[in-house]
């Protein structure tokens, strides 16, 4: 069991702040004046950007570099964000898709998305020093998969095929897990109502889309079991709720995040589904002035793996080109923090004595 799950603070969404609270309080009359003058109004979502799991994974890699230098390998991207990955690549960290690329005895960090037991086994066989930066909320889903599989359930995992997190979770009980993405997939499932079934979800799904699939599952399998606490994480939920609130009054939505970031894509799709032109960009360099030619109000947010610096660069772009005035709209405060894994603190530089195993499960 992951001890961080026991020691972490309450992984809850935090306190709700009633209504919208502009950070740099701007009176309604001022907004009116701005709009009359043709100034752009930017609604900046809060919460946005880094979640506790991403923060912890990045802190882990920074701390590992500080302790043993940059000769560190990371299995897949540490988080799905180009800016973050480029920063570490620039420091000398290597991101690999196969453990064959890691020299025997080398240092390997598992990313925030988690890995399957098979990857852990290969890492042990190559005597790698491993640091597990899996987000504890992803580990929670792994543990649920193991528990249900041990109890003889067939597990329906709602998620996106090929996503690192889904691959890792399915690897916990490959014989027992069936992946579905849509309600149509549910209709094609081979199980009957008499089968022992449970469902789990990827942590970064669209809450609305996942609920549609869950409804389809419950309709077809009224007795299906599920974990007491849902798997879509607090950060995903909060960022989606904030976007839902802001796009009601926005002409354009900008989401800072990488194309392969699941939770960032969901934010962009939410805006588009509500008829608001929505763009997912890695940074200000990808913004096009024509996107804003008709826009008086622009909503800006960032996926859970996008750093604040790219948000600030985007705001600078809008201020410079459109005289934008910024109002931070606080839906909810977040106070979640995850501790770094203990094995990080016993790393030894490559070439020095390698411990038999530093892995935690």
Question: Footprint of ligand SF4 on this chain (CB under 6 A)?
Answer: 51-54, 112, 135, 137-138, 203-204, 233, 235-236, 263, 304
| Closer to ligand SF4 by Cβ: residue 231 or 282 | 231
282: nearest Cα among 46, 50, 80, 52 = 80
Name the minimum Å distance from CB 176 to ligand SF4. Answer: 22
- What contacts 100, CB < 8 A, 6 or more positions away? none
Chain mean position to CA 114: 12
| Closer to ligand SF4 by Cβ: residue 138 or 224 | 138
Question: ∠ CA 136-137-141 to the nearest 5 degrees?
Answer: 110
How far apart CA 137 and CA 25 sit, in angstroms, is 35
How far apart CA 15 and CA 112 sit, in angstroms, is 25
Name the minimum Å distance from CB 256 to ligand SF4. Answer: 15
- What contacts 58, CB < 8 A, 6 or more positions away? 50, 78, 79, 84
| Closer to ligand SF4 by Cβ: residue 177 or 304 | 304
Name the minimum Å distance from CB 191 to ligand SF4. Answer: 27
Name the minimum Å distance from CB 330 to ligand SF4. Answer: 19
Name the minimum Å distance from CB 58 to ligand SF4. Answer: 11
Can you spell out the DSSP letters for 116-131?
-HHHHHHHHHTT-EEE
> Among residues 33, 63, 161, 165, which one is catalytic?
165
| Closer to ligand SF4 by Cβ: residue 284 or 304 | 304
| Closer to ligand SF4 by Cβ: residue 201 or 297 | 201
Question: ∠ CA 90-92-93 to the nearest 5 degrees?
Answer: 105
Count of other CB atoms within 10 angstroms of residue 190: 7
- Return the structure tokens found at 184: 């149509």
290 is catalytic: no
41: nearest Cα among 250, 272, 270, 247 = 250
| Closer to ligand SF4 by Cβ: residue 124 or 160 | 160
Q: For residue 186, is it left (φ>0), alpha (ψ between -120 and 50) or beta? A: alpha
- What contacts 213, CB < 8 A, 6 or more positions away? 158, 180, 181, 182, 183, 185, 186
Name the minimum Å distance from CB 259 to ligand SF4. Answer: 16
What is the set of active-site residues? 165
């Amino acid at each position: 069991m992951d001890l961080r799950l026991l020691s972490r603070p309450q992984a809850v969404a935090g306190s709700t702040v009633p209504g919208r609270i502009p950070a740099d309080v701007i009176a309604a009359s001022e907004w009116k004046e701005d709009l009359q003058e043709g100034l752009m109004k930017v609604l900046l979502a809060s919460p946005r950007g880094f979640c506790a799991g991403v923060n912890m994974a990045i802190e882990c890699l920074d701390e590992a570099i500080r302790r043993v230098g940059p000769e560190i390998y990371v299995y897949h991207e540490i988080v799905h964000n180009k800016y973050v990955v480029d920063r570490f690549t620039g420091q000398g960290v290597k991101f690999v898709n196969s453990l064959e690329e890691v020299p025997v005895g080398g240092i390997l960090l598992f990313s925030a998305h988690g890995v399957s037991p098979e990857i852990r086994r290969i890492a042990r066989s190559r005597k790698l020093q491993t640091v597990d930066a899996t987000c504890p909320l992803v580990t929670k889903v792994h543990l649920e998969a193991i528990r249900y599989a041990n109890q003889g359930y067939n597990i329906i995992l709602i998620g996106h095929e090929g996503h690192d997190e889904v691959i890792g979770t399915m690897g916990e009980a490959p014989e027992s897990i069936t992946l579905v993405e849509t309600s149509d997939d549910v209709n094609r499932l081979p199980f009957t109502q008499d089968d022992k079934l449970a469902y789990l979800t990827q942590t970064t799904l669209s809450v609305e889309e996942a609920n549609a699939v869950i409804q389809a599952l419950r309709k077809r399998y009224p007795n299906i079991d599920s974990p007491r606490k849902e798997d879509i994480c607090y950060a995903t939920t909060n960022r989606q709720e904030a976007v839902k609130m802001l796009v009601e009054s926005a002409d354009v939505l900008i989401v800072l995040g990488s194309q392969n970031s699941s939770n960032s894509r969901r934010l962009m799709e939410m805006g588009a589904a509500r008829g608001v032109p929505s763009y997912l960009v890695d940074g200000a360099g990808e913004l096009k002035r024509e996107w804003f030619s008709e826009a008086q109000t622009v909503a800006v947010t960032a996926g859970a793996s996008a750093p604040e610096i790219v948000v600030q660069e985007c705001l600078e772009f809008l201020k410079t080109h459109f005289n934008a005035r910024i109002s931070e709209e606080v839906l909810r405060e977040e106070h979640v923090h995850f501790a770094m894994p203990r094995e990080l603190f016993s790393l030894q530089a490559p070439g020095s004595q390698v411990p038999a195993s530093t892995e935690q499960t």
